[in-house]
């Protein structure tokens, strides 16, 4: 059931934000409170990052090749897994004296082909709402694409309101993205692939990911591969722009395949590529203040060393759960704004015809 009527801000002060990233590492759940109803301050009350069971993870990685029935079954199973984790999370929150009023769930991206007006973030929001007993906000991207936008990135609206003390905010997830919270108009875009491609290469060595970048550190630079990666046409496109798994499969992955290169050398070269592209994105813009870096990639010591070697700005990686929780936190804020009838997607960032209050709402 869609819900369009704006409601009072005080009614939606505390909610759960949920993020399932393209790297398929698991669910991030953040219980957040936004005191005062303004959405310019936050309290991260509770956070949990729950890895997917390996069978579900492999199915999510292969989702783009599913049949229609296979995708429907996967959405059911992904939703049921998410429901179980949310209800466990709610019980933990209740035991600590906290009560959520809504759930804001990004869902899991299967397709994102803006040029074909296709995006799909898998989640049965109606089922989650009924089984968890709370309003659920989901499916944030399709309205923006209908309005001519990229449907991404969505997080920069939250960066402006919650992290405006930073000159730039970078998240190193499946893809690396950047926003400049103080820029006018607001500027943000996807920079390059990050954990998604690093994890793919590490999997060939029997690792789910490269712990602290040690595998990449042990390799050597493949200069021809680095030049080919940096020459990809996407990097010369102006914003607004965004990346999806389809782009990765079509343009980047063929550069890594069939050459017989040692996997550690490929990882080493990919880390250098990411570091150079992140640095290039920062150098292209005039901004003031520190650079906030979050996401799983911020825990990759070698990647952070290489970014610091190329970047001239002071870098801040937050202590505690915020490093991994930031995107889930911001989706909690975007869901709050949807329920209150406030704009939550920036047309300046996505290129859409107008700002919008996006997201489907399901009531229990």
pLDDT (tens digit per residue) in 67-82:
999 999 999 999 999 9
Query: Parallel, antiparallel, or unpaired for β 14-20 and 103-113?
Result: parallel
Sort residue 211 into left (φ over 0), alpha (ψ -120 to 50) or beta. beta
Domain-located, residue 22: yes
Domain-located, residue 1: no
- Whether 152 contacts 113, CB under 8 Å: no
Backbone angles phi, psi at 254, to 5 degrees: -60, -25
Please state the domain count of the chain. Answer: 2
Same domain for 27 and 146: yes
Q: What is the pLDDT of residue 10?
A: 45
Instruction: Please name which of 163, 289, 84, 343 lies closest in space to residue 76, comparing C-alpha atoms.
Output: 84
- Return the CATH number at 146: 3.30.420.40
Total-model pTM: 0.93
**Residue stretches of the chain with pLDDT short of 50:** 1-10
pLDDT, tens digit (0-9, with 9 covering 90-100), for 122-155: 999 999 999 999 999 999 999 999 999 999 999 9
Beta-bridged to residue 258, according to DSSP, are none
Q: What is the pLDDT of residue 288?
A: 86
Same domain for 162 and 128: no
Same domain for 188 and 139: no
- Whether 337 contacts 133, CB under 8 Å: no
Domain-located, residue 2: no
Q: What is the pLDDT of residue 27?
A: 96
- Residue 351's domain comprises 9-152+325-362
């Amino acid at each position: 059931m869609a819900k369009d009527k704006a409601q009072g801000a005080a009614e939606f002060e505390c909610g759960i934000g949920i993020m399932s990233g393209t790297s398929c590492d698991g669910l991030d759940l953040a219980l957040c409170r936004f005191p005062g109803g303004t959405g310019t301050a936050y309290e991260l009350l509770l956070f949990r990052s729950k890895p997917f069971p390996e069978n579900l993870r492999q199915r999510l990685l292969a989702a783009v090749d599913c049949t229609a029935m296979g995708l429907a079954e996967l959405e059911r199973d992904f939703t049921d897994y998410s429901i179980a984790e949310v209800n466990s999370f709610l019980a933990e929150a209740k035991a600590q004296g906290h009560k959520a009023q809504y759930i804001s769930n990004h869902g899991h991206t299967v397709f994102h082909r803006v040029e074909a007006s296709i995006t799909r973030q898998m989640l049965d929001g109606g089922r989650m709402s009924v089984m968890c007993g709370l309003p659920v906000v989901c499916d944030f991207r399709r309205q923006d694409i209908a309005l001519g936008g990229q449907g991404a990135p969505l997080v920069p609206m939250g960066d402006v309101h919650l992290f405006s003390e930073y000159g730039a905010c970078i998240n190193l997830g499946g893809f690396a993205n950047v926003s400049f919270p103080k820029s006018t108009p607001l500027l943000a875009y996807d920079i390059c692939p990050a954990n998604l491609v690093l994890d793919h290469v590490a999997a060939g060595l029997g690792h789910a990911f490269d712990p602290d970048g040690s595998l990449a550190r042990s390799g050597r630079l493949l200069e021809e591969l680095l030049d080919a990666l940096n020459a990809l046409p996407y990097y010369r496109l102006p914003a607004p722009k965004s990346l999806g798994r389809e782009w990765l499969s079509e343009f980047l992955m063929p550069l890594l395949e069939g050459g017989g290169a040692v996997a550690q050398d490929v990882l080493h070269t990919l880390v250098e590529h990411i570091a150079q592209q992140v640095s290039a994105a920062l150098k292209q813009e005039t901004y003031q203040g520190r650079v906030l870096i979050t996401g799983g990639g911020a825990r990759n010591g070698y990647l952070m060393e290489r970014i610091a070697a190329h970047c001239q700005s002071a870098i801040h990686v937050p202590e505690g759960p915020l490093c991994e929780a930031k995107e889930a936190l911001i989706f909690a804020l975007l869901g709050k704004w949807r329920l209150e009838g406030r704009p939550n997607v920036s047309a300046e960032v996505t290129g859409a015809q107008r700002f919008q209050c996006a997201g489907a709402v399901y009531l229990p």
